[in-house]
Amino acid sequence: MHPSFCFMVRISPATVVFKDRGVNVKGYIFKRVGFMIVTLFVIVTATFFLMQLIPGTPFTNPEKLTEKQLVILNAKYGLDQPVAIQYLKYIGNLLQGDLGYSFQYEGRTVFSMIGDRIGPSAFIGLQALIFGSIIGLLLGIFSALKHNSVYDYLSVTIAVLGMSIPSFVFAALLQYYVGVKLEWLPVALWEGYSSTILPSFALSVTVIATVARFIRSEMLEVLGQDYVTTARAKGLSEWTVIVKHVTRNALIPVVTMLGPLAVSIMTGTLVIEKIFSVPGLGEQFTLSILVLDYSVIMGITLFYSGLFILVVFLVDILYGLLDPRIDYKGAEQS
C-alpha cells in the first residue's frame, strides 16, 4: 500500500477517542477530513498545471532529440494531448491508486521509487527529531529557568547559531573530523546503523535550535501567568510548580510546531542526503524537478502534502486533548 494512504487508514483510533466527548467532535473531524481531501485535490491540480509551464521535456537526452523524435515520443506518452485531457487522465489513474511510471528511471513505478527511498529519510529524520527534541527541550527549559543568566545567553547563542549556520556546514565538519580524521564513524554511505549517526546528528542541529528557542519563550510566558503565582502561593515546592504547572503547559504549543517539523525533516533533505550519500527521498525530489520527471514530481508532491495535511490535522486534534480551553464547538461554528 502506498505510504501516504496507510496513514489515512489508521485515523480510526482517533475517532474512537472522541466518541465520548460528544457529537460536536465527531462532526468536526468529519468536516476536517472533507477539507483535507479538497485541499489535496487543489494541490494536485495546481501542481499539475504549474508543472506544465516549465519549459522542456521529461525525456532523457534532450540535447540530442530531434523535433521529429520529440513528436513521436510525445504521442507515445500522451503528452501531445491538451493539458486538460492529460489532467483528467492523471486524476482518473490517481483515483485507482496509480501514480504512473518515471520518465528518467524507465520501467520504475513512482510508487516503488517513493517506497524505496522514504525508509532511509524517515529513519534519519526520526532519530534527528527524537535526539534534537530532547536536547532542545532541556536547553530551552534550562535557559528559561535561568533567565538572563550566563547560561541563558549561552543556550540562546547555541540556538541562534544552530538556526543560522546551514546544516551542510555541520555535515561537512562532522564528516571530515569524525569520519576522516578520527575514523570513529563511517564517512558516508548506507551500510548499517553506524552510518545513520552522523547524518542524524547533522540534521538534529536545526531541531535543537528550533525547539530550544520555542520552549524557552513559552516557558517564560507561562512563568508569568497568575496560576503559577497561585501555585507558588499555595506553598507547592518549586519542583512541583515547574514540572506540573509550568513545563506541562509550555509543552502544549510545542506540539503544534513539532508536527510539521517532523514531516519536513522525515521526508528527506537534499543537502544532508547528498553529503552522506543517503539513498533518501529529498534528493530524488529535487532531481525530478530539474529533469522534469512529471510523474515523479506529482507523486512526491502528493505524498509530501498528504502527509503534511494529515499531521496538521492530528496536531489540531491533539491540541484539543492537551488543552481543555480549546472548544471544537467554536471551531465548527467559525
Partner 1 sequence: MKNKKWLGFIFLTIFALVLSGCNFNSPDTDKGSEKEKEGTKEGDTAATVEQVLKLSASAEIPTMDSTKAHDGVAFNVLNNTNEGLYRQDENNESILALAEKHDVSEDEVVHTFTLRDTKWSNGDPVTAADFEYAWKRVMREAGAYNYMLATAGIKNAEAIMNEEMDADELGIKATGDLTLEVTLESPNPLFVTLLAFPTFLPQNQEFVEGLGDQYALEAENVLANGPFKLVSWTHEQGWVLEKNEDYWDADNVKLDKVEVIVVKEPSTGANLYETGKIDRTLLTSALVQQYADNEDFQIEKESDIIFLRFNHNHPILGNPEIRRAINMAIDRDGLTDIILQDGSTPLYGLVAGGYYFSPDQKDYREINGDINKGSIEEAKTLWENTLAEIGEKEVTVSINIADSEAHKKVAEYLQAQLEDNLPGFKLEIKAVPFAQRLEIEKAITYDISLSSWGPDYSDPMTYLDMWVTGGSANRMDYDNPKLNNLVSQAYSETDLSKRFEMLLEIEKILLVEDAAIAPLYQTGSAILKRGNIKDLVKHPSGAEFSYKWAYIEE
- Is residue 226 at the binding interface for partner 1, with CB under 8 A as the rule? no
Q: Which stretch binds partner 1 (CB under 8 A): 81-89, 152-160, 187-195, 223-231?
A: 187-195
Stretch that binds partner 1, among 78-86, 122-130, 146-154, 246-254 (CB under 8 A): 122-130
Which of 15, 24, 47, 116 is in the footprint of partner 1 by CB under 8 A? 116
3-state secondary structure of 198: helix
Neighbours of 135 (CB within 10 A): 18
- Closest CA relative to residue 275, chosen from 174, 137, 127: 174
Pair 60, 104: CB distance under 8 Å: yes
- Structural contact between residues 18 and 129, judged by C-beta atoms closer than 8 angstroms: no
Among 33, 80, 94, 115, binds partner 1 (CB under 8 A): 115
Among 72, 85, 91, 160, binds partner 1 (CB under 8 A): 72
Residue 134 or 163: which CB sits closer to partner 1?
Answer: 134
Q: Is 134 among the residues that bind partner 1 (CB under 8 A)? A: no
In the complex, the smallest distance separating the C-beta of residue 190 from partner 1, rounded to whole angstroms, is 5
Q: Is 200 in the site for partner 1 (CB under 8 A)?
A: no
Rounded least distance, CB 198 to partner 1, Å: 11
Is 105 a binding residue for partner 1 by CB under 8 A? The answer is: yes
51 is a site residue for partner 1 (CB under 8 A): no
The nearer residue to partner 1, 53 or 150, going by C-beta atoms, is 53
Compare residues 73 and 165 and give the one whose CB is closer to partner 1.
73
Select from 33, 154, 163, 314 the one that contacts partner 1 (CB under 8 A). 314
Amino acid at 273: E
Rule CB under 8 A: choose which of 23, 82, 193, 235 binds partner 1: 193
d(CA 237, CA 245): 11
CA distance 201 to 124: 9
In the complex, the smallest distance separating the C-beta of residue 158 from partner 1, rounded to whole angstroms, is 26
Interactions with partner 1, residue window 286-305 (CB under 8 A): 290, 292
Distance of closest approach, residue 187 Cβ to partner 1, in angstroms = 5
Q: Under the criterion CB under 8 A, does residue 183 sit at the interface with partner 1?
A: yes
Cα–Cα distance measured from residue 292 to residue 314, given in angstroms and rounded to the nearest whole number: 33
In a 3-state reduction of DSSP, which class is residue 298? Answer: helix
Three-state secondary structure of 204-268:
HHHHHHHHHHHHHHHHHHHHCCHHHHHHHHCCCCHHHHHHHHHHHHHHHHHHHHHHHHHHHHHCC
Residue whose cell numbers read 517532523: 262
Cell of 323: 488543552
Site for partner 1 in 232-271 (CB under 8 A): 266
Helix (H) or strand (E) holding 275: helix 270-275
Residues 6+ apart with CB under 8 A from 258: 129, 133, 211, 315
Residues forming the site for partner 1 (CB under 8 A): 1, 3, 6-7, 10, 13-14, 17, 54-57, 59-69, 72-73, 76, 104-108, 115-120, 122-123, 126, 172, 175-176, 179-180, 183, 187-193, 195-196, 266, 274-277, 279, 283, 290, 292, 314, 318, 321-322
